[in-house]
Structure 1
Amino acid sequence: MPKLERWGGLVALLSGILGVLYFPFDSAALFAASDATEFTGFIPWSDAFRDLAAPLLTFDSPAVVHRFYARLSFIVILGFAVGLVALHSRQAGKAGRLERWGFYVTLVGLALIAASVFVERWIGGGHGGPSRVGDWAFVVLEVPSLLLLIPGLPLFGIGTLRAKVAPRLGAWLLTISVPAVVLLTLLLGHLSGGMLVLDLAWMVLGYHLWSQRATAKAATAEV
Structure 2
Amino acid sequence: MEDLSRKSDFANLADVSHSQRAVPVGAALLPESTPLIARIERGIAMRYTLIEDGRRQVEALVYPGDLCGLTSVLHGPGASYYEALTPVILSSFDPADLRQPAINGPDRDTALLWLMTRELTRLSGWLASVGQRNANEGIAWFVMHAWERAEAVGLIEKDSAPFPFAQQVVADSLGLSLVHTNKTIRRLRDQGLFRISGGRVRISSLPALRRAAAL
TM-score (norm 1): 0.28
What TM-score do you get using the length of structure 2 for normalisation? Answer: 0.28
Tell which has more relative contact order, 1 or 2 (C-alpha 8 A, sep 6+). 1
Give the number of the structure whose residues are more often helix, by fraction.
Answer: 1
